[in-house]
Structure 1
Amino acid sequence: MSQTSTLALLERYYAAFNAGDTAAMEALVSDDIAHDVNQGGRRNGKALFAQFNAHMTRCYKEQLTDMVLFANEDGTRAAAEFIVNGTYLATDEGLPEAAGQTYRLPAGTFFDVKDGKIARITTYYNLEDWIAQVGA
């Protein structure tokens, strides 16, 4: 892939995220996707990625803004920086009780891209900041 095609792939991925279209997101990742969740372990494979997306859709409603995308010249590695604007819809296990709290949180994601698909997603944000915002 080229730098341009990788950036276009990420634009499609994040457009699907903001539209709440998890099926479109899942279509853009490889079958053996490596998904590193902030403050958690790695989930391998599209089935676990889909399971994670279903869980997130139940607990959170999020829109990403102030998006900046980066990719290396050959398009095999990329990154995104953005602001997560969210609403905490349902209590997530081990986290504070949900009561519709809103939050605004800077975050970033790193990607590996292989054969036209996203092969790795590693997302980082400040969990302590999020907990403070939702009123633990």
Structure 2
Amino acid sequence: MNTLKFQTQINAPKDRVWNALWDPANYREWTRAFSDSSHFDGELKQCKEIDFLDGDNNGMYARVETFKPNEQMAFRHVGEIRAGQRQDPSTEWGNNLESYSLSEVNGRTTLDVSVDAPDEYAAQMNDIFPKAFANLKALAEKH
């Protein structure tokens, strides 16, 4: 298991970055780097469960561990979803943490992301996250 760390600077206040991250339509845009049809289903609130899906309804389900609007969001992954059906808790992805933290100085936001990923997915995540960040920056920085 690897804990991967990513950081980007965005020329926008953190409330705009938060909206770019978690508004459902915006989420679909910035996560295209992972899958052209990435989306989530569920409620982004503390202790709620959420499904992260592609167009074929495959993906992961998670529990919202931390929900502090405009500051921090963290998910504890539970298991996989295949064809819209939740699978038993995963030994590969289960209990992995994915967290997003925002800090702002003079209208510029630093986004720090930490992702626990199985060894065989580390290279893929290291390749995709910078592309996703480019999409996110474009969304958050437009006026």
Aligning the two structures, in what range does the TM-score lie when normalised by the shorter sequence? Answer: 0.3 to 0.5
Q: TM-score, normalised by structure 1?
A: 0.36
